Amino acid sequence: MATTRKLKRPEVLAPAGTLEKLKVAIHYGADAVYIGGNAYGLRSRAGNFTYEQMAEGVAFAKEHNAKVYVAANMVTHEGNQEGAGEFFRELRDVGISAVIVSDPALIEICITEAPGLPVHLSTQASATNYETLEFWKNEGLERVVLGREVSMEEVAEIRRNTDVEIEAFIHGAMCISYSGRCTLSNHMSMRDANRGGCSQSCRWKYDLYDLPFGEERRSLTKNGEVAEEFSMSAVDMSMIEHIPDIIENGIDSLKIEGRMKSIHYVSTVSNVYKAAVDSYMADPENYVCKQEWIDELWKVAQRELATGFYYGTPTENEQLFGARRKIPEYKFIGEVLSYDEATKIATIRQRNAFEVGDEIEFYGPGFHHFEQKIEVMYNEDNESIDRAPNAMMIVTMPVNEKVEPGDMIRKRK
């Protein structure tokens, strides 16, 4: 049992739905990323990795002292486990740092058929007390991803009573169901949420209708209003204002949700939590949560933000229904490929349309930000253009400050 504990720098763990997102997350400060393989995951529509892509991702991560984990957290039915031993051996041999699993059958297969590959328990397994963590430790697991229903007080209690590594979600979308175990999607769209096919039925818009025979349906509640009367959708989580609690209470890995999110999201959120963790570890006594970190996260927010179950059971205020709060929306428009210091010209790959006259913002790792107006830009033939409408087209433009390859560009919608 753990009784005393030195302050330990937690890992910032970012989602990586594709190889590009993996590299972006690590470039922007993630200490580790989690990805999906071609089987056993819960994100069948994410850009799941081939073994060759995994090998490239692992090599890139090692160059930057980072780790790669693979989520294999589906709930198996009869026959689903066939081939799992070979799958886990491939992950081990390609250099994956750990596999995240929830199903006891897959855990047993991994431990017995792919020795040497560490196993982490998925949040889907609903670990919410230290006795559970001790059980899985005795089964050979070294880390547990806590159920999202665990409070900060319970985190502290768990840490006091076990030395198992604790991973917990600190940012991103929240599932409305207990530890993500939901069957709404199964019943409403014949897509198994626990085997990778969730259709997010909880995010759908619901209403109460009158359905007269032979006539169009008519809402009984809205009367032309756009506010949602019925919803099961939770707001998203953000723990940026509670970094001291997270670290002091012994969470070892700060998990960011979002394998299907954009590189704009991955880069921004990784950048923010990296900065916050580094700031706290450098001087805990004088740590202050900076407003610029909070503002930055709102630039990629899709929903309102709250703290989940950490400080009490969520109420109706943590649900999405009724009038929505207006969130400032930013569009990711490009990335810097190169920069010529002599001419102060940046070469940019377009990701969404932009044009001369737009006010844009450059940002990069370590919180180098600046804004400027596009005065002039050129295509690959060095011809002056007013607009960059074509996906992935290459343009050049003068910039007001030095930029680096990999810096991102966005504009407010």
In a domain, 212, yes or no: no
> pLDDT band for position 188 (50/70/90)?
confident
Number of domains in the chain: 2
Count of Cβ atoms closer than 10 Å to residue 114 Cβ: 21
Q: What is the pLDDT of residue 189?
A: 82
pLDDT tens, residue by residue, 216-255: 888 877 655 555 666 778 889 999 999 999 999 999 999 9
- On the question of pLDDT at 88 being above 50, the answer is yes
Q: What is the pLDDT of residue 4?
A: 45
> pLDDT band for position 215 (50/70/90)?
confident
- On the question of pLDDT at 326 being above 80, the answer is no
Question: Strand runs (DSSP E) across 213-367, as ranges?
Answer: 218-219, 236-238, 253-256, 305-306, 330-340, 345-350, 354-355, 359-364
State the average pLDDT over residues 316-345: 86
CATH number of the domain at 151, please.
3.20.20.70
Q: Could you say which of 272, 287, 318 is where a domain stops? A: 318
CATH number of the domain at 397, please.
2.40.30.10
pLDDT tens, residue by residue, 113-132: 999 999 999 998 999 999 99
Does one domain contain both 292 and 359?
Answer: no
> pLDDT band for position 387 (50/70/90)?
very high
Does one domain contain both 258 and 395?
Answer: no
> pLDDT band for position 1 (50/70/90)?
very low
Does one domain contain both 17 and 96?
Answer: yes
Does one domain contain both 309 and 360?
Answer: no
Q: What is the pLDDT of residue 295?
A: 94
pLDDT tens, residue by residue, 362-379: 999 998 899 999 999 999
**Higher pLDDT residue, 324 or 269?**
269
The whole-model pTM stands at 0.90
Closest C-alpha among 380, 360, 378 to residue 370: 360
Share of the chain above pLDDT 90, in %: 70
Tokens of 127: 């670990």
Tokens of 316: 């109706």
State the average pLDDT over residues 271-296: 97
**Higher pLDDT residue, 3 or 282?**
282
Q: What is the pLDDT of residue 315?
A: 86
pLDDT tens, residue by residue, 25-49: 999 999 999 999 876 765 545 457 9
> What CA–CA distance (Å, rounded) separates 403 from 337?
10
Q: What is the pLDDT of residue 413?
A: 82
Does one domain contain both 256 and 392?
Answer: no
Does one domain contain both 286 and 339?
Answer: no
Does one domain contain both 81 and 173?
Answer: yes
Does one domain contain both 122 and 244?
Answer: yes
> What CA–CA distance (Å, rounded) separates 225 from 45?
33
Torsion of Cα atoms, 47 then 45 then 178 then 22, to 10°: 10
In a domain, 51, yes or no: yes
Does one domain contain both 301 and 352?
Answer: no
Does one domain contain both 264 and 359?
Answer: no
Q: Which domain does 367 fall in, by range?
A: 330-412
Q: What is the pLDDT of residue 323?
A: 60
Least confident range of 86-90, 92-96, 157-161, 222-226: 222-226
